[in-house]
Structure 1
Amino acid sequence: MRADPTGAALPQIQEAAQRYSENARHKLAGLIHEAGPQGLPFARWMHAALYDPQAGYYAGAPLKFGDTAAAAGTALQGDFVTAPELTPWFGRSLARQIGPILAHIGTPHILEFGAGSGALAEHILQALLPEFPELQYYILDISPDLTQRQQQRLAPFGDSVHWLHSLPSGFSGCIIANEVLDAMPVSLFEWGEDGNVHELHVINKPGEASAAADPQADQEAQASSYFDFLRVPAGALLEQAVRTRMPALPGYRSEINLQGESWVAGLGQWLDQGVALLIDYGFPQHEYYHPQRSQGTLMCHLLHHAHSQVLHFPGIQDITAHVDFTAMADAALAADLEVLGYTSQARFLLNCGLLQMLSELDPDDTARYAREIGPVQKLLSEAEMGELFKVLAIGKNVDMDLMAFATGDRRHRL
């Protein structure tokens, strides 16, 4: 879970991170210059800022995820904390649903996209290997830095864990994507006063893209001085997507995750049999494009500070957008996949038996009990992760009821 927006001043950046961000800014400025006067569509700029092999956030930024100790109250590390880093009970709960899926299919294979620190894989493997000794856990992650961390953390599991460099040609089993869709590059659009749809591109500010950084200058002003937005007429694909999802609201700005929809649709090509659990923060479409959400959902995460200045600090801050789960479900259906369930994270975990597992803890061991229960409350609380995060299950050739959606299934609200 990323830090909540507070409006507080952005943190001071260490010298090494400043140098990395400076390198990223020059790389991005060069890409914009090559693209011409209309600059880069925001989706391309976001992709480079996050995934460029030499300058992107996921290629070389310092520690990206806070660890469990940090979440429990010690000094926060990284830029944000995800559910698997908060507590192993998250992975243990998922395992309670994954196990029946694997048993039903008869193929004990799991594929996780964007495995972060490897915490979720570790907790699921610990929970399921006793029941499925032949379990094979596959990871596909585009970050070399994170892949190395995963390999170190998961080394005790030996040949049960494998890393892929590309999508499989076919797969049967369970797929996990926890906070993956939110990090995919999005197209940024804005409705004009004339009722036309404009796409936002990123351009270099004249005379400033190659200016030398002043280490004594205010970091926020310095970081934002390199880039600006330019509105251009939206292409046919983006304009059609916008017009089919919301009415014209002059001045309204938001995002569309066409890459995420394409990724979901792609599952229909290589998933032979199985279930994909997509876990992320987001809304159904009618809430996503609500008139009051007029500035969209783009958010940045830097050293546990959340802010909306997406052109700041490229290369060293995470950039995310909430997920339009209706669009993802529609993409799945168009690819001949089934939508098997949709609910809040809290309801998903409760249906998986989280409270029953916790009931086995000894309440008289107050220190341990508090240590275990505190993070779980963050997972379940409506004010924190419990309601904002949703779980969408899609699948192919699976004829079974999923316990995780036994109550509180919200497919009718998509």
Structure 2
Amino acid sequence: MPNHPTLPAPSLAAAQHSAQLCETIRRDITANGGWISFARYMELALYAPRLGYYTAGALKFGEAGDFITAPELSPLFGRTVARQVSEIMAHSESHILELGAGSGKLAVDMLTELEQLGSLPDSYSILEISADLRERQQTLIRERLPHLFNRVHWLDALPEKFSGAIIANEVLDALPVHLVHWQDSAITERGVALSDSNFVWQERAISDLNLLEAAQKIIVPDGYVSEICLAARGLINSLAQCLEQGAMLFIDYGLGAREFYHPQRNNGTLMCHYRHHAHDDPFFLPGLQDITAHVNFTDIAECGIDAGLELMGYTSQAFFLINCGITELLKDTSPENLRDYFPLSGQLQKLTSPAEMGELFKVIALGKNFNGTLSGFARGGLSRLL
């Protein structure tokens, strides 16, 4: 395990947990001839049963975790997103499907606002692969909204058919990515091997034809390293087959392809998060840190269109939230109520400021058989940048 003196040391139990996962990954590397793709490494580090970052029981979200997501930051986020979801349901069916619901906070805030709007869904389904997170979601929803708990259902897989609103907040960035290296007119895949039981980078010729085809379409300078997320394409295709009528919203940090593969971004966007410290070493304490990559929203849009979906909007999180009325929601709290107003005002600033989450985070909407309009994209559209 690499030594990072600037990062907090884990507890003995946490270190032992990481060591167990490391051994699982080592066995997988050995079983695959001494090398696995980085996508496979990332899959195991995040999702290995009972050991991966998202499948084990460590606290991930909020001040005590490794990062803070928008739903954890402020109830204004979920309440505002709920307004867009209400529009989608009004022009399709009264059902919501949330992918990867985290702590359950987004579901709680959305259902709270939808109840106030008189737009409660007939069902709220959560697709959650982590048993630990599923339990936390159930506990939170049962505590906060006991009278609505029976409307919420947990799924192990996508339904065969679905009509309504699909929501995914910070899901795409956690999907495993392949690392590709463009060098001397050749394209190789950067994967993971072992050296004295330590994880090391090792490059090989690309054997996955889908990955090779995708890499050959990307024009970048010599020596460039970046990510390609085939898993995101698979997810969009599956959702397109599942959705009969309605729209899906993806909220995440990312860029259009021209910015994603900008010449100056020659080391990619891979990033790790450990106890609110961001760094770039995915081999540090596997299972105890999040591993992410920015979303290539051009790829998401093109994949959706190829799968029969319509691009219904693409904008910054700031414009989306403002278009959906986040400032009006703040007005529900009187400025004279200093105890409540100032925290909410600061939270709104973080959600919408270009220096915080407002510009880095984007929102993209893909729909099928949907004739309504989406208020979240009324102004500030960025589709021209895809």
The TM-score, its normalising length taken from structure 1, stands at 0.89
- Does 1:358 find its partner at 2:355? no
Give the match for residue 29 of structure 2: 32
Q: Residue 182 of structure 1: CA displacement?
A: 0.3
1:14-72 CA-to-partner distances (Å, cap 9, x unmatched) read: 111111101111111111111113x1011111101110103211111410101xxxxxx
- Extract unaligned runs of 5+ from structure 1: 1-6, 67-75, 210-225
- Extract unaligned runs of 5+ from structure 2: none
- Does 1:122 find its partner at 2:108? yes
In structure 2, the residue corresponding to 1:173 is in which secondary structure? strand
Q: Against the structure 1 CA distance between its residues 134 and 332, is the aligned structure 2 distance closer, same or farther, given a 3 Å change threshold?
A: closer
Give the match for residue 391 of structure 1: 363
Whole-Å separation in 2 of the counterparts to 1:245 and 1:108? 41
- Does 1:103 find its partner at 2:93? no
Give the match for residue 20 of structure 2: 23
Identity of aligned residues (%): 47
Q: CA RMSD of the aligned region, Å?
A: 1.3
In structure 2, the residue corresponding to 1:154 is in which secondary structure? helix
* Structure 2 letter corresponding to 1:123: D
Q: Residue 135 of structure 1: CA displacement?
A: 2.8
Whole-Å separation in 2 of the counterparts to 1:171 and 1:334? 19
1:213-250 CA-to-partner distances (Å, cap 9, x unmatched) read: xxxxxxxxxxxxx2001011123322221121223x22
Q: Residue 257 of structure 1: CA displacement?
A: 0.6
Whole-Å separation in 2 of the counterparts to 1:391 and 1:301? 22
- Judge which range, 338-347 or 361-370, deviates more: 361-370
Whole-Å separation in 2 of the counterparts to 1:127 and 1:8? 45
User: Superposed, which structure 2 residues align to 1:4-403 within 5 Å?
Assistant: 9-37=6-34, 39-66=35-62, 76-105=63-92, 107-130=93-116, 131-133=118-120, 135-155=122-142, 156=146, 157-192=148-183, 194-205=184-195, 207=196, 209=197, 226-235=198-207, 236-247=209-220, 249-403=221-375
* Structure 1 letter corresponding to 2:78: G
* Structure 1 letter corresponding to 2:113: A
CA contact (8 A) 1:279 1:390 kept: yes
Q: Against the structure 1 CA distance between its residues 373 and 197, is the aligned structure 2 distance closer, same or farther, given a 3 Å change threshold?
A: same
* Structure 2 letter corresponding to 1:63: L
* Structure 2 letter corresponding to 1:294: N
Q: Residue 403 of structure 1: CA displacement?
A: 0.5
Number of matched pairs: 377
* Structure 1 letter corresponding to 2:383: R
The TM-score, its normalising length taken from structure 2, stands at 0.95
CA contact (8 A) 2:61 2:67 kept: yes
CA contact (8 A) 2:45 2:286 kept: yes
Whole-Å separation in 1 of the counterparts to 2:125 and 2:332? 31
1:88-136 CA-to-partner distances (Å, cap 9, x unmatched) read: 000010111111211121x210000000000000000111134134531
Q: Against the structure 1 CA distance between its residues 239 and 329, is the aligned structure 2 distance closer, same or farther, given a 3 Å change threshold?
A: same
In structure 2, the residue corresponding to 1:167 is in which secondary structure? coil
